Amino acid sequence: MLKRIFPFRVVVLLTLQIIFAALFILFNNTEFFYEKRDVQKQATPAYSFKGLLSPEFDKVENFKLQGYVLSTSKSIPPYYFVVYEPSIDDGVSPYMLQTGGFYDRFAHDIFDWHYAQSKKNGHISDTTVDCLVLDVGMNFGSFALYAASRNCEVYGFETQSSVMFGVALAARLNNFEQYVHMIRKAASNVSGIPVKFGFVSKNVGGLPVVYDSASDTDETVLTVRVDDVVQYPRHINFAKVDVEGSEYRALQGMKPFLQSHLIDGLVIELRDDDQSKQWIADIYDWGYICLKVSEYQYPLNYSASLQTFPFMATKKKALENADRLDNYWCVPDFRDKKVVPA
């Protein structure tokens, strides 16, 4: 009996070694090519991205997908994500590789709280696409892919072709095409304005757009209002807004949704500048209240009510706390009275 079992085990082990070796060669030595919205691997059928990318992506041709890393998330359920090698990007990419796909983990956690509340109230389920999420400033898709894995429809806004392409490849590998819509435009308060951005060595995803038409930068995209992409008055379960200093403009492009309280929750990057103070004032005027993300412990208690979280009751308090780089979690005012004026 032992003589019969031993050769079988040897065959199984050798087979597994061959499979792992083949996968290693595939993911590390095979070049992927991008031409006119199709990704082609030599001697294999094309991967079509029609319907996944916005038409502006047609202008990026002969793009070679080199220096990228394919990895698997540590979330439940797991999914593939694609980032740069750390030698190219020492910002988002190595952090996502280290954490298993997460970046700004608090955004995932706050989204999970909203998701749990909607599920408890019977508004969403695990089996149908019945939640809508915005990822404004998508980067390598840490949040967009996570939301798509929870059966949420995602509108992701990103200006950089190389970063956006990594998300597109990950979406294709995960069969997320029905969930993820990618818009290669800069979310703003007006649509159709050309803006530019350059490339910052070692921080590929952290690039602000430049509204100065005379600026000599590397790439040009058009601006777009979010409400020109997502039809008002759709209900939006959650939005993440992180656009490197253009948050005020991006929120102006979402104004009808915010004024009507159609967005259940937002996480917005905060800076110590006049633009941040302006959007904070607007958010409170539109009937939202906010919590400073760094002043709360994570993970959240997903069964906790909003009343248990330390949201800042007044616009004045929120403006006083806008003194450094951080993030605000904002929700429609849930109290009996309206927001107390500053």
Which residue in 186, 190, 228, 231 sits closest to 210, CA to CA?
186
Q: What is the pLDDT of residues 277-327, one digit of tens each?
A: 999 999 999 999 999 999 888 999 999 999 999 999 999 999 999 999 999
* Residue 111 amino acid letter: F
* Spatial distance between the Cα atoms of 38 and 19, rounded to a whole number of angstroms: 27
What is the average pLDDT across 92-106?
96
Look-up of token digits 């939202």: 288
Least confident range from 122-131, 174-183, 286-295, 332-341: namely 332-341
Q: What is the pLDDT of residues 114-165, one digit of tens each?
A: 999 998 888 777 767 789 999 999 999 999 999 999 999 999 999 988 888 8
DSSP string, 208-256: --B--TT---SEEEEEE-GGGTSPTT--BSEEEE--TT-HHHHHHTTHH
Most confidently modeled range among 50-59, 93-102, 159-168: 93-102
Q: What is the pLDDT of residues 230-252, one digit of tens each?
A: 999 999 999 999 998 899 999 99
59 has a pLDDT exceeding 70: no
Tokens of 244: 């490197």
How would CATH label the architecture of 33-332? 3-Layer(aba) Sandwich (3.40)
Backbone angles phi, psi at 69, to 5 degrees: -125, 130
* Spatial distance between the Cα atoms of 323 and 239, rounded to a whole number of angstroms: 23
